[in-house]
Amino acid sequence: MIKKLIGKLLGKSPAPPPVPAGPPLGQRRDIPAAEHGIDPKLLDDNAVRVVRTLKEAGHEAYIVGGAVRDLLVGLRPKDFDVATDATPEQVKALFRRAFIIGRRFRLVHVIFGRGREHEVIEVSTFRALLDPAAADAVAGNEKTSKAELSGKSHAVDATGRVLRDNVWGPQIEDAARRDFTINAMYYDPLTQTVVDYHGGLADVRAKVLRLIGDPPTRFREDPVRIVRTVRFAAKLGFGLDPATRQAIAPHAALLANVPISRLFDEMVKLLQTGHAQASLTQLREHRLPHGVFPILDLVLAQAEAGGQGDRFVQLALADTDRRVAAGKPVAPSFLLACLLWHEVQGRWTSLKAGGEPPMPALQQAIDAVFDARIGDISGRGKLAADMREIWMMQPRFERRFGNGPYSLVDSPRYRAGYDFLKLRGDAGEIGTDLAEWWEDFALGGDDDREAMIAAAREAHQRGPRRVQGPKSAVRGEGGAPAPRDDSAEAEDNDAPAAPARKRRRRRRKPGGGAGEGSAPATGGGPEGAA
């Protein structure tokens, strides 16, 4: 008290209050190419172009985060992010096609190319390391407190979860506010220098996943870091440092406060890293609360029960991992359709047993599963439409006569539906002969197709006989016989046999070969499913 009084008399300002301990700032270390060993051939030309443009404009700019981590372990990153001291407005002004996005974190998407071949380089501004206690606290969340959050640059909810974080700062503070040491490194592709503040390179080489700062505090700031911990451990094969591991269980309940759409995106990332099976193993180990990922709750329950449903899912996950490893595209709709198929099938069977016609019953079963497992999330419309089309194709595959096969192979989603059918055969749910018949039909010429349809129609009219392919069928010498799938046709009893025709009036396509886009894909996530 006396010191304060003397200070006032002398005109001295009072000392600022002590700042609560936050993540350590670390110490900058510049690591040359000879030590870090990053191969420049793994870099993305557009990411380098963004860095060069920013630096030529007088700004700092680096490739950052997971891209640097992957480069250090010899992987080509799927995405390249850039961090800079330029504000979003300054970044946008430097590029012809750049867009400022986000509210929680304001970012710039710099777009290269057009259509399905376009590439997005995400550019973020260095953020300041702020005291959570000094942030504006709001009672609700992103949806319930929109008016209260308007105009705020730093805000948290009642649990300490960050809702707004748009205060710019120096690189050293930006590094401290990142989640893991292995994600807090910066790479300058022009000088080939890695900037490391928190021993990230050492942790990469030791294969250790370590949070920067106090793990409980970091999980409260953003509970999704718990999911990211699981994903990175599975993807990289890294172990968790003890402090990070011990903080997961006590804070896992905070995931209930995270928006459903963000959790859904994280779940898709878990399944599409190329290590889906390892990710599920990690989820089992850490026992995240039931309800965080309703779809994965179902998958884990099927795994414990075993049986055909689990076999089908495991084949789908393994096939997805193989496609990712081979650099092939994977459609989320295809994999999610696989994960939920047996629940759809169970509801479908129950509805049919209650007297509902087969196709309306399938529609109702799909709607019920969507409501129970996916809910109302952003982007659900396109995703749900793709999944629905894959499922609705399955009974159509049983009709191998009339005009149906022609329209089905010409469908834009045929390849996704076919791969799903093939996976069902591989899992033992149906006979493999059905997928083989459709493969022959898709690859065959017009004469082959007509002969196959005639044989299928004849077998359907005569009763339970084997469907014999034409002698000129593509797959085998003399055509591979395909057994009739009686159970599937019994399910589709609403489609009577079409009357026989002498010849189908169908215009021959140029070249007289297979129909456009008719070659089936082989794998769980077809290019046609993207």
In degrees, rounded to 5, the angle at the alpha carbon of residue 181 between the alpha carbons of residues 178 and 185 is: 75
Query: Active-site residue 81, yes or no?
Result: yes
Rounded-to-integer distance, Cα 520 and Cα 439, Å: 6
Tokens of 442: 């898709």
Rounded-to-integer distance, Cα 182 and Cα 408, Å: 48
Query: Active-site residue 30, yes or no?
Result: no
CA torsion sign for 192, 193, 198, 201 is positive
Report the length, in residues, of the chain.
Answer: 530
Rounded-to-integer distance, Cα 429 and Cα 422, Å: 10
Rounded-to-integer distance, Cα 440 and Cα 157, Å: 59
The one catalytic residue in 81, 222, 386, 440 is 81
Looking from the CA of 190 toward its CB, the CA atoms found within 13 Å total 13
Q: For residues 212 and 181, is the Cβ–Cβ distance under 8 A? A: yes
The one catalytic residue in 70, 157, 165, 179 is 179
Q: How far is CA 525 from CA 92, 338, 429, 472, in A?
A: 35, 10, 19, 30
Rounded-to-integer distance, Cα 79 and Cα 77, Å: 5
Q: How far is CA 517 from CA 343, 389, 408, 493, 527, in A?
A: 31, 17, 11, 30, 11
DSSP state of 379: T
Give the catalytic positions in this structure.
Answer: 79, 81, 179
